[in-house]
Amino acid sequence: MTRPIHPDLPPVSGAWREGDPVGSRRFARLGPLGLESGDKLDDVVLAYETWGTFTGSNAVLVLHALTGDSHVVGEAGPGHVSPGWWGDVVGPGGDIDTDRFFVVAANILGGCQGSTGPASPAPDGAAYGSRFPDLTVRDQVAAEVALADRLGIERWHAVIGGSAGGMRALEWAVEHPGRVERLFLLATSAWASAEQVALSTTQQAAITHDAAYADGDYYENAVGPVGGLEVARRIAHISYRSEHELAERFGREREPDGVTFSVASYLEHHGVKLAQRFDAGSYLVLTRAMDSHDVGRGRGGVESALRRITARTVVAGIDSDRLYPLSQQQTLAELIPGAKRLDVVNSLHGHDGFLVEHEQVGALASALLGRGPRST
């Protein structure tokens, strides 16, 4: 596979690199981190952002999905290619009210927007590249636990996550039940299904078959596997939206050239948009970590693991989600002791409904959080 010629694609990677504008990020140096594989990262850094004032009992952890980052709220600008991804839910007076709650969001371990990942410098100063170890969701949560310790947060008022963020929220509540008072699981699952892994590994192949991938050591080259990343995103985006939405919006319409299908142009746009702000190596690390997700692994099975959760829990799914169908959230709602029912978000937009349906999702979050202590 060769890199498609597109004027808007970066030559190597869309990763944030040291020396780039910092924007709203802060950085926590957490030291060494042992991994489930037996490997170790010597000097883990997590980039994070906060909103509101910590009073000791009002901290809320918001966990982003696969290609999100710490920039939950705020404008695009130096250091932030895109505006905050949940700005209609989080903020002063919002459903997750930063006048009342101290909201924390960190870029995931293995990510590419300031946290330690394949594009980051290894101890020898060169990018990790192919030397970056495989991660699991549990490894990523271990890094977030270290961040909470660094921030002096012993117990979260709530942990909130959708999709891949929901995987980490679930692991938080299972592995550290005493540190999670409330839990919001949105469009996620107890384990990665065969279909989810099939889609994920196909996206991974789009990247590793790009001639510029160079076995993962492309960061100092003239070009990187941005074409493969763009194709991977196209594949993913099909599963993120619903068939009904695509049919309604595009049907069999073509672009003004009379040749290109409008739906193909739409997918290309989203592929290029991601490649401008993301890194192919991180995409591989993060999707493989998602493939590892199985809350019951080593814990006596899924039911036994979910019974550990003591948090008051809201489980919600999207009625048109074909990537994480409602049956997966139904399993969570039935087996988590603190979950009373499955809440269903109505949306035309498929899996991406957890990012799009701000009013419905925000109302569920607000009801779960209750009236926390107002910051001063």
The neighbour count for residue 268, using CB atoms within 10 Å, is: 17
Determine which one of 97, 279, 294, 321 is catalytic: 321
Going by the DSSP 8-state scheme, the letter that residue 372 receives in this structure is P
Whether 237 is a known active-site residue: answer: no
Determine which one of 24, 163, 200, 282 is catalytic: 163
What the block records as the tokens of 105 is 């969001």
> Which residues, in sequence order, are CB contacts of 285 under 8 Å at separation 6+?
110, 117, 118, 132, 134, 135
Strand partners for 93: none
Q: Identify whether the C-beta of residue 13 lies closer than 8 Å to the C-beta of residue 274.
A: no
CA distances (Å), 196 to each of 22, 191, 202, 204, 322, in order?
34, 10, 10, 12, 10
Per DSSP, helices labelled H in the chain are: 137-151, 164-175, 194-208, 226-240, 243-249, 262-275, 280-291, 302-306, 326-335, 353-356, 358-369
Q: Which of 141, 189, 148, 159 is nearest to 295 (CA)?
A: 189
Distance CA 138, CA 293 (A): 8
Distance CA 325, CA 240 (A): 11
DSSP per-residue codes, 214-281: GGG--TTSS--THHHHHHHHHHHHHHHS-HHHHHHHTTT-B-TTSSSBHHHHHHHHHHHHHHTT--HH
Whether 351 is a known active-site residue: answer: yes
Distance CA 69, CA 113 (A): 6
Q: Which of 177, 132, 113 is nearest to 33 (CA)?
A: 132
Strand 90-91 relative to strand 96-97: parallel, antiparallel, unpaired? parallel
Determine which one of 71, 293, 349, 351 is catalytic: 351
Whether 163 is a known active-site residue: answer: yes
| CA-angle at 101, arms to 98 and 106, nearest 5° | 85
Q: Identify whether the C-beta of residue 62 lies closer than 8 Å to the C-beta of residue 86.
A: yes
- Indicate which residues carry an active-site annotation: 163, 321, 351
